[in-house]
């Protein structure tokens, strides 16, 4: 297969997207041809470094241009770990950051480049770059060091110019955006993703599906975003089911990767998402992985909004699209769902359960006693505030109790 290379989105110059070549060949080609980089910092997932030869393969291709390596990060991009990388990268005078792994690394790399441009080295200084911080500084410089992402999961953060990270001094997750720039290049290699644990691959795929559904169900979406989201769903649903049935199906895996791209094209058009994402941001610090927050919350949020008549016509359109997918239809039939009675929450629950993914907070040791704190943090999230049905603390608690056990 020859390389496909060009802008990831038809209406934006960056990020660029490459697929068709093995990841190490692609990065070697573009480091020289496009970035002219000579001081590269690599952030690699711990599991890839430990269980595969991918990192060594990458280092062998890039040679002495690799001046620093960080192996492993905890989920949800902890500020303390980001600041460790900032200090290391600053010492190495890096001119390119490359990530090899999942979404937490991607978000971290974007924030590292942003922090380097603004001479940040402490928690309090990083706080001044948050758009919602009362201590936000007046003058913020744009990111300068470019980021290249080689993703092994499907969350899609490699396509966006915003990132989430958790202040581990307070336990709250924050979003960074504004002058922060997104990655310059994304390299897709479906064969590389066969090293990703099935639960991570499939759950982050549901996160991408959630991007599509919350775009399509938003009361502030538009035709362009809706079209991207429909394309994303059309790739992701059959791709995830097929890659669950046959983990070595590289065509299905590439379909998932391109579906995640479409999903991010939709939700980076400025369409506000909803409570599945907003509450999910605060489940992360409570111990739920990034993708699994959508597995738990998406069906419940759909039901909550539908019950209140917030977005009925939009949900009905998604229901119709899902019933038209032959792979999804097989699952619905197996679970004895009926077209006339099953709502969107029911359909999503069936898909998620067929992928053998978690559906309750109890599976993560989260009980009633933790819900109040999660709800309070959630209310400050921009996507809880833009949920189609207005939410107060009691509304968030109602959603959380729907998925408690």
CATH of the domain at 210: 1.20.1090.10
Mark whether 302 and 388 lie in a shared domain. yes
Cα gap 30→173, rounded to integer Å: 33
Contact 302, 348 (CB under 8 A): yes
Cα gap 58→54, rounded to integer Å: 6
CATH number (domain holding residue 91)? 3.40.50.1970
Mark whether 359 and 240 lie in a shared domain. yes
Cα gap 392→375, rounded to integer Å: 9
Mark whether 384 and 343 lie in a shared domain. yes
Mark whether 219 and 302 lie in a shared domain. yes
Mark whether 268 and 393 lie in a shared domain. yes
Q: How many Cα atoms sit within 13 Å of 306 on the Cβ side?
A: 19
Q: Out of 188, 214, 246, pick the residue that ends a domain.
A: 188
Mark whether 56 and 161 lie in a shared domain. yes
Q: Which residues contact 217 (CB under 8 A, 6 or more apart)?
A: 274, 302, 305, 311, 314, 315, 318, 344, 388
Contact 29, 88 (CB under 8 A): no
Number of neighbours of residue 394 by Cβ within 10 angstroms: 8
Q: Tokens representing 99?
A: 């990530």
CA angle 128, 133, 138 (to 5 degrees): 50
CA angle 126, 385, 103 (to 5 degrees): 50
Mark whether 380 and 262 lie in a shared domain. yes
Mark whether 20 and 149 lie in a shared domain. yes
Mark whether 305 and 261 lie in a shared domain. yes
Q: Out of 146, 168, 188, pick the residue that ends a domain.
A: 188
Mark whether 132 and 225 lie in a shared domain. no
- Residue 1 confidence (pLDDT): 66
Mark whether 162 and 205 lie in a shared domain. no
DSSP state of 44: E
Residue showing tokens 């070595």: 248
Domain assignment of residue 231, given as a range: 197-402
Q: Out of 139, 164, 188, pick the residue that ends a domain.
A: 188
Q: Give the helix/strand (H/E) hosting 349.
A: helix 344-354
Per the structure, the count of domains in the chain is 2
Phi, psi of 99 (to 5 degrees): -105, 140
| pLDDT tens, per residue, the chain with 405 residues | 689 999 999 888 999 999 999 999 999 999 988 999 999 999 999 999 999 999 999 999 999 999 999 999 988 899 999 999 999 999 999 999 999 998 889 999 999 999 999 999 999 999 999 988 889 998 999 999 999 999 999 989 999 998 989 998 888 888 899 999 999 999 999 999 999 999 999 999 999 999 999 999 999 999 999 999 999 999 999 999 999 999 999 999 999 999 999 999 998 888 999 999 999 999 988 889 889 999 999 999 999 999 999 999 999 999 999 999 999 999 999 999 999 999 999 999 999 999 999 999 999 999 999 999 999 999 999 999 999 999 999 999 999 999 999
What is the secondary structure of 141-191 as a DSSP string? Answer: PPP-S-EEEEESSS--GGG-S-EEEEETTTTEEEEE-TTPPPPSEEEE-TT
Mark whether 164 and 243 lie in a shared domain. no
């Amino acid at each position: 297969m020859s390389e496909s290379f060009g802008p990831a989105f038809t209406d934006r110059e960056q990020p660029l997207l490459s697929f068709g070549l093995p990841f190490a060949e692609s990065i070697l080609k573009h480091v020289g041809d496009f970035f002219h980089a000579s001081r590269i910092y690599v952030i690699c997932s711990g599991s890839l470094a430990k269980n595969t030869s991918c990192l060594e393969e990458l280092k062998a291709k890039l040679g002495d241009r690799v001046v620093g390596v960080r192996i492993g990060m905890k989920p949800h991009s902890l500020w303390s770990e980001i600041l460790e990388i900032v200090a290391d990268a600053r010492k190495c005078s890096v001119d390119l950051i490359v990530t090899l792994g999942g979404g937490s690394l991607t978000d971290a790399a974007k924030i590292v480049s942003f922090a380097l441009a603004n001479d940040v080295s402490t928690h309090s200084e990083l706080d001044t770059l948050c758009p919602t911080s009362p201590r936000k500084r007046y003058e913020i410089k744009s990111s300068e060091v470019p980021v290249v992402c080689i993703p092994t999961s499907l969350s899609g953060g490699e396509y966006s110019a915003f990132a989430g990270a958790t202040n581990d001094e307070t336990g709250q997750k924050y979003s960074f955006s504004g002058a922060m720039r997104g990655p310059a290049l994304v390299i897709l290699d479906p064969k590389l993703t066969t090293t990703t644990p099935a639960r991570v691959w499939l759950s982050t795929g549901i996160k991408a599906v959630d991007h599509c559904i919350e775009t399509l169900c938003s009361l502030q979406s538009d035709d362009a975003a809706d079209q991207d989201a429909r394309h994303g769903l059309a790739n992701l649903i059959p791709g995830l089911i097929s890659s669950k049935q046959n983990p070595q199906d590289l065509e299905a895996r590439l379909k998932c990767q391109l579906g995640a791209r479409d999903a991010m094209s939709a939700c980076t058009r400025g369409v506000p998402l909803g409570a599945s994402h907003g509450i999910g941001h605060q489940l992360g610090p409570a111990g739920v992985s990034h993708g699994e927050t959508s597995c738990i919350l998406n069906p419940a949020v759909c039901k909550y909004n539908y019950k209140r008549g917030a977005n009925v016509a939009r949900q009905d359109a998604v229901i119709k699209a899902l019933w038209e997918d032959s792979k999804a239809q097989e699952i619905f039939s197996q679970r004895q769902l009926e077209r006339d009675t099953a709502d969107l929450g029911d359909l999503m629950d069936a898909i998620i359960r067929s992928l053998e993914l978690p559906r309750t907070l109890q599976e993560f040791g989260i009980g009633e006693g933790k819900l109040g704190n999660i709800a309070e943090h959630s209310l400050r999230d921009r996507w809880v505030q833009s949920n189609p049905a207005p939410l107060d603390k009691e509304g968030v608690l109602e959603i959380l109790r729907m998925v408690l056990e």
